[in-house]
Amino acid sequence: MSGGDKIDFEIRPSAAPVSAAERAAMVANPGFGRIFTDHMAIVRYAEGKGWYDARVEARAPLPMDPASAVLHYAQEIFEGLKAYPTPDGGVAMFRPDANAARFAQSAARMAMPVVPTELFLASLREIITIDREWMPDSEDGSLYLRPFAFASEVFLGVRPAMEYLYLVIASPVGPYFAGGVQPVSVWVSPDFTRAAPGGTGAAKCGGNYAAGLSAQAEAIAHDCEQVVYLDAVQRTYVDELGGMNVMFVMDDGSLVTPPLSGTILPGITRDSVLRLAERSGRAVQERPVGFDEWRTGAASGRIREVFACGTAAVITPIGTVRHPGGEFTVADGGPGEVTMGLRQELVDIQRGRADDPFGWVHRVR
């Protein structure tokens, strides 16, 4: 497919969907990323032919040749976004156009073909429509959508592949934190970095996560839930968490977050929070924050609250900060007022309970 050509999905409903009773039992307590809907969207790509053979079909294992390029050189990218039930019984996605744009940027960085925005959005709409019944009806549930693409060409030479698959799978999810918003404890890794200038830090690719698993294990070994990465050059400035961006609330009420310098992932939640804060008159600064500034700001009271943000958990307060030299908390380490206020504002827009001044919410039905 070239340019804006339209591509329609052939719909092949599953011959053996999960029964309504079984589905209800699964969706009642879904956890995160554990259960999946009946269908998937799948589109093929070949060099010279473009995207073709778009289908929605029963979710099933993918037959793969052991020489498929992705298994060797990790040419793979993904996205993550949520669809929410709306108060009037409909379904809405939150900023899917932003995910489409980021997916295209990730593809460019990984020398992969771009999935056109229209195809990307259509694949999401098709999955939501066919698997609508999997949407949790709870106050805090949603349908997590996972678009991804990878090199499927059977070839061991090192160059961008000439064949790819693009898929979307969907997973009903509950609140990320059962029992309310809990602060996460973080480990500031002295050994591992996440991304260097010129690297793939701004691309949402599986390789970044693979490279972070040792650091995550180190965090767990230090009794922390998440890793904080410092910049790879000076080991001084705060980049982000393994899968969430980080924000600081200062004593003058301003919001400070590290800039998009190429080593951090441009989070859509990050962008949404910045724009909401600006809209309500809060000063916002994108600038480097040294780990020392964090530590001394916590001690002096200059920094009042710190939180992490990303699609899965939305906004999560950061509690204990542990590092090789000791540990500290910002204020009492509990959820701060500004943090929880921004969280509520964002969740209300996502769920169609508040006005949507930026046009972020896309109705599907």
Ligand X SMILES: *Cc1c(COP(=O)(O)O)cnc(C)c1O
Nearest-5° angle of CA 236, CA 192, CA 213? 140
37 binds ligand X (CB under 6 A): no
The kind and range of the H/E element at 343 are helix 337-350
Q: In whole angstroms, how close is the CB of 341 to ligand X at the nearest point?
A: 18
82 binds ligand X (CB under 6 A): no
Contact in structure between 251 and 244 (CB atoms under 8 Å):
no
115 binds ligand X (CB under 6 A): no
Spacing of C-alpha 344 from chain mean position: 19
Query: What are 302's two structure tokens?
Result: 């200059």
Report the residue number, 39 or 82, with the smaller CB distance to ligand X.
82
Q: Letter for the amino acid at 62?
A: L
311 binds ligand X (CB under 6 A): yes
243 binds ligand X (CB under 6 A): yes
Q: In whole angstroms, how close is the CB of 311 to ligand X at the nearest point?
A: 3
Task: Determine the Cα–Cα distance for residues 198 and 157; give it in Å rounded to an integer.
Answer: 23
Q: In whole angstroms, how close is the CB of 363 to ligand X at the nearest point?
A: 20
Q: What is the DSSP letter of 95?
A: S
Burial string for 296-324 (b: 16+ CB within 10 Å, else e) reads ebbeeeebbbbbbbbbebbbbbbbbbbbe
258 binds ligand X (CB under 6 A): no
Among the listed ranges 222-230, 239-247, 298-306, 335-343, the one in contact with ligand X (CB under 6 A) is 239-247
Q: In whole angstroms, how close is the CB of 158 to ligand X at the nearest point?
A: 25
Taken in order 303, 246, 336, 280, is the CA torsion positive or negative?
Answer: positive
- Count the site residues for ligand X by CB under 6 A: 13
From the list 230, 244, 256, 306, which residue makes contact with ligand X (rule: CB under 6 A)? 244
Q: In whole angstroms, how close is the CB of 103 to ligand X at the nearest point?
A: 11
Report the residue number, 128 or 265, with the smaller CB distance to ligand X.
265
Burial string for 183-218 (b: 16+ CB within 10 Å, else e) reads bbbbbbbeebbbbeeebbbbbbbbbbeebbeebbeb
Among the listed ranges 21-29, 129-137, 260-268, 315-323, the one in contact with ligand X (CB under 6 A) is 260-268
From the list 17, 80, 147, 297, which residue makes contact with ligand X (rule: CB under 6 A)? 80
257 binds ligand X (CB under 6 A): no
Q: Letter for the amino acid at 69?
A: A
Q: Which of positions 264-303 make contact with ligand X (CB under 6 A)? A: 265, 267-270
Report the residue number, 267 or 336, with the smaller CB distance to ligand X.
267
Q: In whole angstroms, how close is the CB of 314 to ligand X at the nearest point?
A: 9
Give me the long-range contacts of 359-362 (CB less than 8 A, separation at least 24): 360/94, 360/95, 360/272, 361/92, 361/93, 361/94, 362/92, 362/93, 362/94, 362/95, 362/96, 362/97, 362/121
Q: In whole angstroms, how close is the CB of 267 to ligand X at the nearest point?
A: 3
310 binds ligand X (CB under 6 A): yes
Q: Letter for the amino acid at 190?
A: P
Q: Give the chain's end-to-end CA distance (angstroms, integer).
A: 27
Here's the x/- map for ligand X, 202-221, by CB under 6 A: it reads as --x-----------------
245 binds ligand X (CB under 6 A): yes
- Which residues make up the interface to ligand X (CB under 6 A)? 80, 204, 240, 243-245, 265, 267-270, 310-311
